[in-house]
Amino acid sequence: DQQVKQNSPSLSVQEGRISILNCDYTNSMFDYFLWYKKYPAEGPTFLISISSIKDKNEDGRFTVFLNKSAKHLSLHIVPSQPGDSAVYFCAARNSGYALNFGKGTSLLVTP
């Protein structure tokens, strides 16, 4: 039962443009959401997070938006750079201890 869904397996964006990665979830008990970036042969790297009591969090070029009523969050990267090319995972935490991950979206930023 996939509680966190990333419905776009891949995304291609030109350098300098905005990248928007989407994530949907089904469990209304999730209280904290995180985005991770993963390069081949490396572990996931924490990128940015947001609490369920907020609707936006910004860190440099990265902004995460949360729409609780729609059970949807998105990661915006502006401007996109070739080094941003990686697999991006959305993860959600409930009141316990585990992170529930989506299957990931592979982002390719072309020059």
Q: Which residues are within 8 A (CB) of 65 and not within 5 positions of it... i.e. 6 or more apart?
A: 55, 56, 73, 74, 76
> Which of helix, strand or coil describes residue 84?
helix
Nearer to other proteins, 3 or 79 (CB): 3
CB of 16 or CB of 43, closer to other proteins? 43
Taking the least distance from each CB to other proteins, the nearer of 18 and 59 is 59
Choice between 97 and 111, CB closer to other proteins: 97
User: Measured from the CB of residue 111, what is the shortest distance to other proteins in angstroms?
Assistant: 27
Strand arrangement of the beta sheet that strand 62-67 belongs to = 4-5, 19-25, 72-77, 62-67, 56-59
Decide: is 37 part of the binding site for other proteins (CB under 8 A).
no
Residue 42 in tokens: 């490396």
Candidates 40-48, 54-62, 63-71, 78-86: pick the segment binding other proteins (CB under 8 A): 40-48
Run of H or E residues at 76:
strand 72-77
Q: Which residues contribute to the site for other proteins (CB under 8 A)?
A: 4, 32, 34, 36, 41-46, 49, 89, 91, 93, 96-104
